[in-house]
Amino acid sequence: MSRRRQIYEGKAKILYEGPEPGTLIQYFKDDATAFNAQKKGTIAGKGVLNNRISEHIFTLLAGIGIPTHFIRRLNMREQLIRQVEIVPIEVVVRNVAAGTLSKRLGIEEGTQLPRTIIEYYYKDDALGDPLIADEHIACFGWATQEEMNDIADMAVRVNDFMCGLFAAIGIRLVDFKLEFGRIWENEYSRVILADEISPDGCRLWDMTTNEKLDKDRFRRDLGGEAEAYQEVARRLGLLPEGEANSVLDLEKHRQKRGK
């Protein structure tokens, strides 16, 4: 059996050459990093859960007309995707103050924002993904104005849809990160949603307890990260009944830790 060709290895995923030209296989690892990879660890089963959660959300988004790179899930940890040229911009959508927004501007975490904020960060690990303005994007040619209009429109639609999706299962969508990629059709290109949408790149808070159900549990050493990711998958209806019963609840986890 010939080994397939690895195209790229990131912090949480590996990309392999796909079975047909223009396709890739996206493999989800259990590895977790934070603070620009200064903190490293693993979350048992994270890759399997993120693969399922991302499949679910990308499929629903395709259903409302958002073009995405997702083709189909292949197995527990892999999905077939369209090969794109990644736009080197991380798009962060915020509904509630948290994380770097709270830190940078001194706004208390949990403050509901009077309007949704879309921010752009330049995707560059060596620089620590700095916050940028539209002006930088235009000046350095990272994306055209037309692409940025499409990206902003899609980010707003994804946010509206996901706020409803998560509210229906008792989860507040605080903020999240999106990535987009370019695909070429003849001499024309367009941008489509790429990467993944999972608790790795979203802040998800339980609506009644404010419990964090996302990677902040890892970033902030809260523990119970695997349980939190399972809880999100369970509420989205992605775990079989048997497994749903075995999900540890976070309240019990906290009590066990004596907090």
Shortest distance, CB of residue 203 to ligand 5GP, whole angstroms? 4
Contact 94, 116 (CB under 8 A): yes
99 is a contact residue toward ligand 5GP (CB under 6 A): yes
Contact 222, 34 (CB under 8 A): no
Cα 133 → chain centroid: 21
Question: 41 - beta bridge partners?
Answer: 32
Percentage helix, strand, coil for the chain under 3-state DSSP, each rounded to 5: 35, 30, 35
List the structure tokens of 225.
Answer: 């990260």
Shortest distance, CB of residue 92 to ligand 5GP, whole angstroms? 5
Question: Which CB sits closer to ligand 5GP, 56 or 177?
Answer: 177
Residue nearest to ligand 5GP (CB): 99
Query: Pick from 31, 55, 147, 200: which binds ligand 5GP (CB under 6 A)?
Result: 200
Measured on CA atoms in the order 123, 23, 198, 11, is the torsion positive or negative?
negative
Query: Pick from 46, 77, 203, 212: which binds ligand 5GP (CB under 6 A)?
Result: 203
Shortest distance, CB of residue 211 to ligand 5GP, whole angstroms? 16
205 is a contact residue toward ligand 5GP (CB under 6 A): no
Rounded to 5 degrees, what are φ and ψ at 252?
Answer: -65, -40
Kindly list the distances between the CA atom of residue 191 and the CA atoms of 10, 144, 181, 197, in Å, as whole numbers in the listed order: 21, 11, 5, 17
Shortest distance, CB of residue 137 to ligand 5GP, whole angstroms? 17
201 is a contact residue toward ligand 5GP (CB under 6 A): yes
User: Hey, which residues between 167 and 196 contact ligand 5GP (CB under 6 A)?
Assistant: 175-177
Instruction: Report the alpha-carbon distance of residue 19 to residue 108 in Å, rounded.
Output: 48
Question: Which CB sits closer to ligand 5GP, 123 or 190?
Answer: 123
Query: Pick from 90, 147, 211, 227: which binds ligand 5GP (CB under 6 A)?
Result: 90
Shortest distance, CB of residue 33 to ligand 5GP, whole angstroms? 8
User: Hey, which residues between 108 and 147 contact ligand 5GP (CB under 6 A)?
Assistant: 129
Contact 203, 98 (CB under 8 A): yes
End-to-end Cα, the chain, rounded Å = 51
Q: Classify 40 as helix, strand or coil.
A: strand
Shortest distance, CB of residue 198 to ligand 5GP, whole angstroms? 8
Convert residues 206-245 into a mask of x (bound to ligand 5GP by CB under 6 A) and - (unbound).
---------x------------------------------
Positions in the binding site for ligand 5GP (CB under 6 A): 90, 92, 98-101, 129, 175-177, 200-203, 215
